[in-house]
Amino acid sequence: MGRGWSVGAGLVTIFMVTHFLSPELQGYYYTFNSLIALQIFVELGLTYVIIQFASHEMTHLKWADGGVVTGDARAKRRLQSLIYFALTWFGIAAVLMILVLLPVGIYFFSSKTSISVIYETSKPWSMLVVFSSINLIITASGAVLEGCGRVADIAIFRFWQSFASVTATWLVLWSGGGIYALVANSAVLASVGAIWLWLKYRNFFLDLFNGSKKLPGMDWKNEVWPFQWRIALSWMSGFLIFQLFNPLLFATHGPIVAGKMGMSLQIIAAMNGAAMAWISTKVPLYGNLVASGQQEKLDRIALKGFIQSFAFLFFGIVAVGSIFYYLFHIGSPYAERVLSLRLLLMLGLVCLANHVVFAQAAYLRAHKQEPFMGISILTGLITASLAFLLVPKMGAAGAVFAYSFSSLTISLLGGTMIFFRKRKKWSH
């Protein structure tokens, strides 16, 4: 149900953006999305780290009546300290996000637009930043629960959270609210998330908050940080790889070209997001299996999930390519809102390559290591360098070339070599 909704909702949203927003506003819509992704520089990949460390502690704990966890006292204390640290980190990150991202966004758009447009964009941008900062804390809480094995609950919650927020997006677009649709989406995500956490899991969090602190907690400096800083660098590199193009195109070629790039990337990302569900929902299980020494079972489950997800993504991209081939053939106005068919198919090929790397990374990170850090940094730097060199002259074609070159050579080939070397080492 979740995968079908993800694909369907993504396609409907794309249709409504095309139908209810002008080509210029479409550019603002997707550039807003890319700039808000700068939150990764304050989040620093901690959500993924939380899932891994919580899943390892849960091998010594179990869920009991009343929605609390029981078991080994030392493991529960370590989980408690992990939650304290996570919520403190994300609380500070939320404040920093408002203090930094809000003026950065206003300055970026003010330097590229007229006075009237500045007024029209500064208010929705400010509201989007505030609600997105609140969502950081909710995301941290969800990561704790996911690491504690509540994967099915989180999946159902995310479905209804997505359903409510996407519906709000559609209503605002339909009513002529323009880029306020992004604000509505973020506001509903925050509201639904806060209500759900309070109604269903307040006992879990209150029990841990009020629990004994006599035993030693998790050593953030020596246990968490050595893993987190590698994840953080990888995730920050991800901004350069996946989110840089829209702002750069907006600044050099205007909102219409940025909108075409943004919509093309969203179409591909929607397919990949649905496909990754076969893998991402198993990340806590991967951590449990590593902690309990069940390497062979981990290999079987990871391989099965990868085959299923890759097949889904492959046929999804073929279907998308076929649909747009027809739209271009009949001269549909919807085809004018995306990049050329050649560039769109190239993005699809890159998406398949990235999916392989994402699957490999999920497997390796279950061992509480980040061997892809160097590859991620190199890929990000080369992507950004090529983008700054080529985009001003070549536009979207330069962006796609930069993305394709770094992803198909450095990321895929280098990542695969690391994956097989590490897997061989850990399987013995």
- Each domain of the chain, given as residue ranges in start order, spans 1-218, 231-428
Q: Give, in degrees to the nearest 5, the angle at Cα 339 between 336 and 344.
A: 130
Write down the pLDDT at residue 115: 44
Q: Give, in degrees to the nearest 5, the angle at Cα 12 between 6 and 16.
A: 140
d(CA 152, CA 103): 39
* C-alpha separations of 343 from 237, 261, 348, 351 in Å: 23, 10, 9, 12
10-residue block means of pLDDT along the chain (428 residues)?
Answer: 67 88 89 83 77 83 84 86 86 89 85 55 90 89 86 85 92 92 94 91 86 77 75 73 84 90 89 84 77 80 89 92 91 88 93 90 78 83 91 92 90 88 73
Write down the pLDDT at residue 116: 47
Write down the pLDDT at residue 184: 95
Residues 6+ positions from 325 with CB-CB distance below 8 Å: 341
Write down the pLDDT at residue 130: 93
Write down the pLDDT at residue 302: 84
d(CA 247, CA 305): 34
294 phi/psi in degrees, rounded to 5: -95, 70
Write down the pLDDT at residue 170: 95
**Is 75 exposed, middle or buried, given 0-12, 13-18 or 19+ CB atoms closer than 10 A?**
middle
Write down the pLDDT at residue 218: 75
